[in-house]
Amino acid sequence: MSQLRVRFAPSPTGYLHIGGARTALFNFLLARKEQGNFILRIEDTDVARSTQTSVDAILQAMDWLGLNYDEGPIYQSERFDLYRSKVQELVVAGKAYRCYCTPEELEQRREAAMKSGGKPKYDRTCLHRQDQPDDRPYAIRFLVPDGETAFVDRIKGTISFQNEELDDLIIQRSDGTPTYNFVVVIDDAEMGMTLVLRGDDHVNNTPRQILLYQALSYAVPEFAHVPMILGADKTRLSKRHGATSVMEYRVMGFLPEALVNYLARLGWSCGDEEIFSMEELIVKFDLDHVGRSAGVFNPEKLLWLNAHYIKTGDRQRLATLLKEYLGERGIETDGGPDLVGVVKSLQERSHTMVEMAEGAAFYFADKVDYLPEAVSKCCTPEAKAGYQTVLKHLSALDDFSHDAIAAAFNQAMSETGLKLGKLAPPVRVALNGTTTSPSVYEVLEVLGKERSLTRLRQGEALFAT
RNA sequence: GGUCCCUUCGUCUAGCGGUCAGGACAUCGGCCUUUCACGUCGGUAACGCGGGUUCGAUUCCCGCAGGGAUCACCA
């Protein structure tokens, strides 16, 4: 049994963004599907740009999405000794060499080469250098062998490069710290990765890394590169296109399962299916159906999915969430109507939890905030009699259930000869101050008799005589 | 510029030689209706171009065009 081992390796220089989340998700799904291991590794070799705040933000976002890992987080910054010894191993074997060229010199030569139409690759000046002084700063470069390097990408198919296109890349900086392309190989190899699933932008790094694996006598893992995510204008997804941070979506009232479902379907498909729970994804996800081309992030479809999950979600759980969203808006729910009832009345008409919270606010308000236009439109002198008839019948109810309320309205209708379209609007205004709300029957039921009647009696004053 | 990758409705995509090119979001109509939604029925809408291969190409091959990625002592 060959155990699948995959990893997600973000660099902690910011929050977890949509693209990274999808890469993490794909790795997670594969690991769970194959019953392999999912490792989280923090790529913080760039000490200057890495922060603990970012690490925390990434961990929090993964937790929210439900992407738990089996090993880690492993910090590369704690493994410098290992990297250094591996660099030495290559130097001793003659597969890497010291380079005394300064960044400034290299930059100059690059520019000169570009200007004369040549390739901006390292000219191997120091490969042929005779002296190797220890008292001068030097970086270590990997000596790229001649030939061709090819690999079979699990998503894109065979990809090959001529080694001469590759630079003798620096694997250790002059300050002694290792560079990305080197540590990623050491870690993926030492941690036993069997598949490296990552963003498309790493395709060009892959041949260099393969050469490194070979130079260090490591087994080369399989690779799979997922296409990037674009904004509506087909450019790389960025702040301009809206929220890119996973956690921003929670703030905006999205459910994690909606984001997971959306991200999974962005670039992957399973016939005509659109709705997938995490459990289904684990069973159905596969690399064979991951597309090769970049995809545009479509917020509207995500919104539709979110509405779907709100519509079909567990009311008790949504009630708990709603309480949080209301709390963030300064609305206290204790002592108010039953939250599950509130959720039930709003569930079908909310696309986000924020929307639900906004729609639920009136249930918990001490006094109704009347919208002037709603009052003038619905609480007309002609409507007053009908309103009072409704109020009379509702007052007489012992059982304030939906059905009983409906019966009360029916009585009022036959008594006044008015249709529900005439009777309901002013009641709605009295209850929530506007012309839009859940069904008035539901609102009355959720509010309960006492609160309802209080509001209805207050509402009598709305009618201009 | 070099190298590498990509190309089906507006968007996400199904398709793996013969389909009226399917689904979903969005959009446009109808229905439902106490408001707003939801739901429901239906419509509009796509194979980048040019060569091949083949009885037959969206599908296979080669060009072209257009996108994108990458060419750091960043990751």
Same structural domain, A325 and A414: no
What nucleotide is nearest A167 when CA is compared to C1'?
B71
Same structural domain, A448 and A340: no
CB of A110 within 7 Å of some strand B atom = yes
Active-site position among A115, A119, A239, A344: A239
Q: How far apart are CA A258 and CA A356, in angstroms?
A: 16
Please report, in tens digits, the pLDDT of each residue of chain A (465 residues total).
469 999 999 999 899 999 999 999 999 999 999 999 999 999 988 878 889 999 999 999 999 999 999 997 999 989 999 999 999 999 999 999 999 999 888 888 888 777 776 778 888 988 988 889 999 999 999 999 999 999 999 999 999 999 999 999 999 999 999 999 999 999 999 999 999 999 999 999 999 999 999 999 999 999 999 999 999 999 998 888 888 999 999 999 999 999 999 999 999 999 999 999 999 999 999 999 999 999 999 999 999 999 999 999 999 999 999 999 999 999 999 988 999 999 999 999 999 999 999 999 999 998 889 888 888 888 888 888 889 899 999 988 889 999 999 999 989 888 888 889 888 999 999 999 999 999 999 999 999 999 999 999 998 888 875
CB of A77 within 7 Å of some strand B atom = no
Please tell me which residue lies nearest to nucleotide B39, judged from CA to C1': A348
Q: Which residue type does A355 have? A: E
CA A411 → C1' B51, Å?
79
Same structural domain, A95 and A149: yes
Strand B interface, A 13-42, C-beta < 7 A: none
Distances (CA, A) of A202 to A76, A256, A313: 19, 28, 38
Which nucleotides along chain B are within 7 A of a protein C-beta? 1-8, 10-15, 22-26, 33-39, 67-75
Q: Which residue has tokens 């937790």?
A: A63
Output Rg (C-alpha) for chain A, integer angstroms: 32
Query: Is residue A262 included in any domain, yes or no?
Result: no
Q: Report how many domains make up chain A.
A: 3
Q: How far apart are CA A187 and CA A23, in angstroms?
A: 18
Structural domain harbouring A212: 80-226
Query: Is residue A248 included in any domain, yes or no?
Result: no
Domain boundary among A176, A198, A226: A226
* Structure tokens given for A435: 């012309």
The strands making up A71-75's β-sheet, listed across from edge to edge, are A5-8, A37-42, A71-75
What nucleotide is nearest A50 when CA is compared to C1'?
B75
CB of A425 within 7 Å of some strand B atom = yes
| Torsion sign across C-alpha atoms A114, A116, A118, A120 | negative
- Alpha helices, DSSP H, located in A216-352: 246-251, 256-265, 278-284, 299-312, 315-328, 339-346
Same structural domain, A336 and A376: no
Q: Is A33 a catalytic residue?
A: no
CA A344 → C1' B15, Å?
41
Same structural domain, A218 and A152: yes
What nucleotide is nearest A291 when CA is compared to C1'?
B13
Same structural domain, A195 and A103: yes
What do you get for the CA distance between the two ends of chain A, in Å?
A: 84
Q: How far apart are CA A231 and CA A247, in angstroms?
A: 18
CB of A7 within 7 Å of some strand B atom = no
Residue A403: helix, strand or coil by DSSP? helix
Which CATH number goes with the domain that contains A395? 1.10.10.350
CB of A176 within 7 Å of some strand B atom = no
Q: How far apart are CA A206 and CA A146, in angstroms?
A: 16
Query: Is residue A343 included in any domain, yes or no?
Result: yes
Which CATH number goes with the domain that contains A198? 3.40.50.620
Q: Is residue A15 within 8 Å of A245, Cβ to Cβ?
A: yes
